Amino acid sequence: MRHQPGYGKDRGETDLPRLLESGVTAQFLAAYVDARYAQMRPDGSWDRAEAEIDTIHAFVRRHPDRLIAATTSRDVLRAKREGKVAVFIGVEGGHAIENSLARLDTLYAQGARYLTLTWNNGNDWAGSSIGVNGTRTGGLTNFGKAVVHEMNRLGMLVDVSHVSDSTFYDVIATSTDPVIASHSSARALGGHPRDMTDDMLRAVARNGGVVNVNFFAVFLDQKFAAATDSVKAQVADQAAEAARRPGADTARLRAEYERKSAELVHALPRPPLSMLIDHIDHVARVAGVDHVGLGSDFDGVDGLLPAGLRDVTDLPRIAQGLLDRGYTDADVTKMLGGNMLRVIEIVLDRKPASP
């Protein structure tokens, strides 16, 4: 849940009307915990995760004729039969548990069915691919391995998007269940540390998991990413110069230049939709068609999507793009959700864990 209620069709990429229009049968909504909550004293990460989960539950309760609170594959099948959307909850950012296995168990009891082990910030037990605010970029600690083991015991998906390379390989060595990358693209094409190398893709395939390809243009196209970085650097230099002037209102300047930076970035030419198809195709070729899915990151990429992809109602364009590449209907069905449904059946459809 990344934006306030009231978004219309001119804002964001997903809302209830568009979700229903899209034909999607099941959707993970992320209880996203920004890095700033981990910097609060006392730590605000747990409270933020709880508030986000409460918001998702309230959203589902408001629309019982359209939505189903989902925790298993059976809920997806029921949603399909009834013409509804099954809503799963994932928690994005392992700092949300504030180093507590008891809180991890509580998240599961509240309906969360995946945990992204880090966000752009590492935490005390897992490293991030970015390591903002000087946070960890190393591997899993012993406690981190205990988190993975507990998720395996509960029947909760381990999400390796955002994690550092060393944490990724530690997870693969530790987890006894298939893992997912909820929103990651191919580093061989995108070149971004948030993307996954070919060796990682093959490791997820051997593990039986799924890599859900991210739609963020910065992760897809190195030229677009470089242009974005250049714009932000130029605006940052201008902001710094303005802030050095006597009597400068730094708070006002910061907001003004952030707005200017966003406007300039959004004016840049976007990579074509075919580049997103390239990433999906690459993951399918390297990991296998049984190990690729869609991880849009809608409402989490500041609207920076490939040209020709506006929102969730445009997902059929991806299906057509894959068919045009020669993939069969059966292949495309797997990529559009069949592979994730298989992993959900393996990991989530077990009997409730004992206390």
Residues 5-59 have pLDDT tens digits of 555 667 899 999 999 999 999 999 999 999 999 999 999 999 999 999 999 999 9
Same domain, 216 and 297: yes
Q: Are residues 297 and 282 in the same domain?
A: yes
Is residue 71 domain-resident? yes
Residues in the chain: 355
Distinct helix (H) and strand (E) counts, the chain: 16, 8
In a domain, 204, yes or no: yes
CATH code, domain with 59: 3.20.20.140
**Rounded Cα gap, residues 149 and 251, in angstroms:** 45
The percent of residues above 90 in pLDDT, for the chain, comes to 89
pTM: 0.94
pLDDT of the residue at 355: 39
- 4 occurs within a structural domain: no
Residues 6+ apart with CB under 8 A from 125: 94, 99, 140, 141, 143, 144, 147
* SS3 assignment, position 54: helix
Cα end-to-end distance, the chain, whole Å? 29
Query: Which of residues 235, 270, 305 is at a domain's end?
Result: 270
286 shares a domain with 254? no
Residues 69 and 198 in one domain: yes
Of the pLDDT bands very low, low, confident and very high (cuts 50, 70, 90), residue 78 is very high
Q: Is residue 331 part of a domain?
A: yes
Given pLDDT bands bounded at 50, 70 and 90, which one contains residue 244?
A: confident
Residues 6+ apart with CB under 8 A from 301: 214, 215, 216, 217, 218
pLDDT for residue 320: 98
Q: Kindly state whether residues 116 and 207 are assigned to the same domain.
A: yes
Are 36 and 121 members of one domain? Answer: yes
Residue 124, Cα to own-chain centre: how many angstroms? 21
The secondary structure of 205-270 as a DSSP string is HHHT-EEEEP--HHHH-HHHHHHHHHHHHHHHHHHHHHHTSTT--HHHHHHHHHHHHHHHHHTSPP
Q: Are both 226 and 277 inside the same structural domain?
A: no
Q: How would residue 248 be classed by pLDDT, with cut points 50, 70 and 90? A: confident
- pLDDT tens digit string along 116-148? 999 999 999 999 999 999 999 999 999 999 999
Q: Do 169 and 234 sit in the same domain of this protein? A: no
Alpha-carbon span 151 to 283, nearest angstrom: 26
Distance from CA of residue 304 to its chain's centroid? Answer: 15
Q: Give me the number of domains the chain comprises.
A: 2
Q: Mean pLDDT score of the chain, rounded to an integer?
A: 95
Q: Would you say residue 355 lies in a domain? A: no
State which residues form the domain around 236: 222-270
Closest by CA position to 288, among listed 336, 339, 348: 339
When pLDDT is averaged across residues 271-290 and rounded to a whole number, the result is 98
Query: What is the DSSP code string of 77-106?
Result: HHHHHHT-EEEEEEEE-GGGGTT-HHHHHH
Cβ-based neighbours of 83, under 8 Å, separated by 6 or more: none
Q: Is residue 68 part of a domain?
A: yes
Residue 106 lies in a domain: yes
Residues 281 and 253 in one domain: no
242 and 327 housed in the same domain? no
What pLDDT does 120 receive?
A: 98
Is there a domain that residue 10 lies in? no
Please identify, among 270, 291, 309, the residue that sits at the C-terminal boundary of a domain: 270
> What is the distance between the alpha carbons of residues 79 and 125, in angstroms, rounded to a whole number?
37
